[in-house]
Amino acid sequence: MASLDDLKKRITSVKSTQKITKAMKMVAAAKLKRAQDSAEKGRPYSQKMNNIILNLSNGISDKSNAPKLLSGTGNERIHLCVVMTSDRGLCGGFNANIIKKAKSYFLKLKEEGKELKIITVGSKGNDQLKRVYGDKIIENISFKDSKNANYFDAEKVGKTIIERFQKEEFDICTIFYNQFKNVITQIPQAQQIIPLNTENNNENKSEESYEFEPDEDEILSNLLPKNISTQIFKAMLENSASEQGARMSAMDNATRNAGEMVDKLTIEYNRSRQAAITKELIEIISGAESL
Amino acid sequence: MSEEFKIDIVNPEKSFLSKEDIIEAVVPAYEGEMGILKDHIPIISFLKPGIIKIKSKSGEDSYYVEDGIIEFKNNNLTVLTSSIFNLKNMEKNKIQELLKIAEEETNNIEISDQTKYLTEQKINVLRSIN
Contact A52 B82 (CB under 8 A): no
Per-residue pLDDT of A151-203, as tens digits, reads 888 888 888 998 898 888 888 999 999 998 888 888 998 988 888 776 655 55
**Does A45 contact B30 at a Cβ distance shorter than 8 Å?**
no
The pLDDT, as a whole number, for residue A206 is: 54
- Residue A62 DSSP one-character state: -
Using one digit for the tens of pLDDT, what is the confidence trace for A107-133? Answer: 999 999 888 999 999 888 888 898 888
CB contact under 8 A, A210 and B10: no
- Distance from the Cα of B13 to chain A's closest Cα (Å) equals 5
Predicted local distance difference test score (pLDDT) of residue A207? 56
Of the two residues B15 and A17, the one the predictor is more confident about is A17
A228 in contact with chain B, both atoms CB, cutoff 8 A: no
For A229-280, the DSSP string reads HHHHHHHHHHHHHHHHHHHHHHHHHHHHHHHHHHHHHHHHHHHHHHHHHHHH
Report residue A103's pLDDT band, with 50, 70 and 90 as the boundaries.
Answer: very high
Instruction: Find the mean pLDDT for residues B48-54.
Output: 89
Arithmetic mean of pLDDT over chain B: 85
Query: Could you tell me if A56 lies within 8 Å of chain B, comparing CB atoms?
Result: yes
Q: What is the mean pLDDT of residues A95-106?
A: 92
pLDDT of residue B82: 83
- CB of A93 closer than 8 Å to CB of A243: no
pLDDT score of B99 more than 60: yes
Q: Which domains, from first to last, does chain B contain? A: 5-86 (2.60.15.10), 92-129 (no CATH)
Chain-chain contact of B10 with A45 (C-beta, under 8 angstroms): yes
Between CA A282 and CA A117 the distance in angstroms is 74
Q: Does residue B81 have a pLDDT over 80?
A: yes
Give the confidence band of A28 by pLDDT, cuts at 50, 70, 90. Answer: very high
CB count in 10 Å sphere of residue A101: 18
Annotated catalytic residue, options A91, A196, A246, A258:
A91
Which pLDDT does position A198 carry in this prediction? 65
**Which residue from A minimizes the CA distance to B10?**
A45
Q: Is the CB of residue B11 less than 8 Å away from at least one CB of chain A?
A: yes
Which of B7, B9, B13, B27 is best to mutate for the A interface (most A CBs within 10 A)?
A: B13
Calculate mean pLDDT across residues A14-20: 96
Mean pLDDT of chain A: 86
Which chain B residues are closer than 8 Å to A52 by Cβ?
A: 44, 69, 71, 78, 80
**If you ran DSSP here, which 8-state letter would residue B42 be given?**
P
Among this protein's residues, is A91 annotated catalytic? Answer: yes
Can you list the pairs that B14-17 forms with residues at least 24 positions away whose Cβ atoms lie under 8 Å? B14/A38, B14/A41, B14/A42, B15/A41, B15/A44, B16/B81, B16/B84, B17/B63
Name chain A contacts of B78, Cβ cutoff 8 Å.
48, 52
Cross-chain residue pair B42–A212, CB shorter than 8 Å: no
pLDDT band at A62 (very low <50, low <70, confident <90, very high): low
What residue spans define the domains of chain A?
A: 45-250
Contact A44 B11 (CB under 8 A): no
Pairing between strand B76-80 and B5-10? Answer: parallel
Ordered alpha helix ranges (H), A60-177: 68-71, 94-111, 123-133, 151-166
Taking only the tens place, the pLDDT of each residue in A240-263 is: 999 999 999 999 999 999 999 999
In chain B, residues with a C-beta closer than 8 Å to the C-beta of A42 are 12-14
Answer yes or no: do A213 and B12 touch at CB < 8 A. Answer: no
C-alpha of A81 from chain center: 14
Q: Which fold has domain A45-250?
A: Pyruvate Kinase; Chain: A, domain 1 (3.40.1380)
Alpha carbon of A87: minimum distance to chain B alpha carbons (Å): 21
Give pLDDT tens digits for A205-239: 555 677 887 777 778 888 888 888 888 998 999 99
CA distances A11 to A154, A213, A271, A274, Å, are 46, 71, 14, 17
